[in-house]
Amino acid sequence: MAIPLDRLPPMVNLSSGPFSGPSLELPGPAVFRVRGGTPLRGTVELSGAKNSALKLMAASLLCEGTLELSAVPAIADVPVMADILRGLGVEVDLDMAANTCRLTAADPQWHAPQDAVTRIRASVSCLGPLVGRVGRARLALPGGDKIGARGIELHLRGLEAMGATIIDRPGEVEVVASHLHGAMITLDFPSVGATENLVMAAVLADGTTVIDNAAREPEIQDLCRMLEAMGAHIDGIGGPTLEIHGVERLHPISWATCPDRIEAGTYAMAAALTGGDVLIERVRPSDLTMPLIKLRAAGVLVEEGGNSLRIKADGLDAVNVVTLPYPGFPTDLQPQMMVLLSQAQGTSRCTENVFESRFSFVEQIARMGADVQIDGHHALIRGPVKLHGAHLQGLDVRAGAAGAMAGLVATGETFVHDVHHVDRGYAGFVPRLQALGADIERLPLASVDG
Ligand code: UD1
């Protein structure tokens, strides 16, 4: 029987055999139906971070023994990454029910299977570790969310500085380096992917690599800390300059993925948007400093515990938000924040600096009646405006989640299509919202008109 991904975490063990599809046993195209009007109340516990787990999995390429990961989120991108790694010769034992993944890269191959690679952006994270360990890598150019051009020239320029040769092929990139050496690399932009790739290439290189203007996201810190525990020498973790002293080999360890701050931010904003009262557990509030500053400025009560956050709201005020690399406001929370601001009193301004196409989501909430005016990479949001139900497209992971959030405060029924995108980044999105009292269901597309 086909099992909706939303119900997977506690119910099904998917550890047997390789996954061939993008997303476990999804029962075909699905839609979220949301009926608004209920404030969210209760407790939600978070998964491990998508953007950390995928890179931790790629880091298994760097050592011979078995890397044991826990708190691996039950999201669709994880089995896709497992498939990519299997294609590279890594033995992967993924147990989505237990949230664990054991990876053994005894003798990795340098050429990844095209199909899986083009499906997720994180596949590019195999480049650095492969070149570092095997001296060669060829990957199809990566896929993932359609939220901008998303080039990889910063990754490639950094690898070149370390002695690699880049061979450009149509739709593919090949990197060859018989010998990687330390280098001084200054990134034009603190790219998350480039920083991670270069760190993973540098840990086994000869000598010292300095990455200046490095990205500082908590998921990068998680990766660097895991590499350190495996025997790497990395100075400056969490800062803008990373100094990596190459070592001969890394050893396998057990590591727990850090909590997903974007998932936390999404549930926090959903709670505030609906005038609810929600306790979020297994969260690191310090990873969310800027979003929490903005929620407080919007009039939301935020109580920080050691590993928890309580979010309570009764009315929202307008605030301005500017997306920037960490510790700035995350672009991955921008669509959710726009929905929240559509219900805030006054005019808010939102500036998107990371992904040029991320405002494509605005057209979706405009269909529901939101008053948003776009001028280049700035948006003016006037609120509060009563939203009405509509058919929305979940254009990417975050836009899909934000569309469902809009449905939580709309009159009538909202249908969010293309929810496979949400499955890529949120474990148990529907049951978790249902547990908070939301009227949301996952339905087969065929059962929905429109
Ligand atoms: C990662 C996250 C994504 C998040 C983003 C920014 C993963 C799997 N994804 O994506 O969820 O939204 O960080 O926080 O971890 N760029 C270039 N050339 C490059 C590298 C980047 O032009 O060589 C541009 C990209 O097109 C994009 C911007 O820089 O506009 C940000 O990219 P980057 O920080 O690298 O993000 P990703 O690693 O793709």
Query: How large a percentage of the chain has pLDDT more than 90?
Result: 81
Any ligand 1 atom below 6 A from CB of 74? no
Ligand 1, pocket-test mutation among 192, 337, 354, most atoms within 8 A of CB = 192
Residue 16 clears pLDDT 80, i.e. is over it: no
- Give the pLDDT band (50/70/90) at residue 1: very low
What would the pLDDT profile of 343-393 be if each residue is shown by its tens digit? 999 999 999 999 988 898 999 999 999 999 999 999 999 999 999 999 999
Q: Tell me if 127 CB under 6 Å of ligand 1.
A: no
Give the pLDDT confidence of 51-72 residue by residue, as tens digits. Answer: 999 999 999 999 999 999 999 9
Is the CB–ligand 1 distance for residue 336 below 6 Å?
Answer: no
Instruction: Return the structure tokens found at 358.
Output: 């991320």
pLDDT band at 27 (very low <50, low <70, confident <90, very high): low
- Ligand 1: residue whose CA is nearest its atom 15: 51
CA-CA-CA-CA torsion sign (122, 128, 133, 135): positive
Select from 229, 245, 283, 282 the least CA-distant residue to 69.
229
Binding site membership of 323 for ligand 1 (Cβ less than 6 Å) = no
CA of residue 240 relative to chain centroid, distance: 21
Pocket flag, ligand 1, residue 425 (CB < 6 Å): no
The mean pLDDT value of the chain amounts to 90
pLDDT tens digit string along 324-355?
999 999 999 999 999 999 999 999 999 999 99
pLDDT at 4 exceeding the cut of 60: no
Q: Tell me which of 83, 145, 277, 332 is the catalytic residue.
A: 145
pLDDT digits (tens, 9 = 90+) for 221-255: 999 999 999 999 999 999 999 999 999 999 999 99
CA distance 196 to 214: 9
pLDDT of amino acid 111? 84
Which one, of 215, 163, 153, lies nearest residue 184 by Cα?
Answer: 163
CA-proximal residue: ligand 1, atom 18 (nearest):
151
154 in contact with ligand 1, CB cutoff 6 A? yes
Nearest protein Cα to ligand 1, atom 38: 193
**pLDDT on residue 23:** 36
DSSP 23: S
Q: What is the 335 CA–ligand 1 centroid distance (Å)?
A: 16
Q: Which atom of ligand 1 is nearest to the CA of 154?
A: 23
Residue 18 above 60 pLDDT? no
Q: Which residues of 233-262 are buried (b: 16+ CB within 10 A; e: fewer)?
A: ebebbeeeebbbebeeebebbebbbbbbbb
- Is residue 235 annotated as a catalytic residue, yes or no? no
DSSP state of 227: H
Share of the chain above pLDDT 70, in %: 90
Q: How far apart are CA 270 and CA 407, in angstroms?
A: 10
Q: How buried is 381 (Cβ within 10 angstroms: 0-12 exposed, 13-18 middle, 19+ buried)? A: buried
Contact 354 CB / ligand 1 (< 6 Å): yes
* pLDDT(12) > 50: no
| Tokens encoding 379 | 């948006």
**Which residue is closest in CA terms to ligand 1's atom 39?**
193
| Residue with CA closest to ligand 1 atom 25 | 150
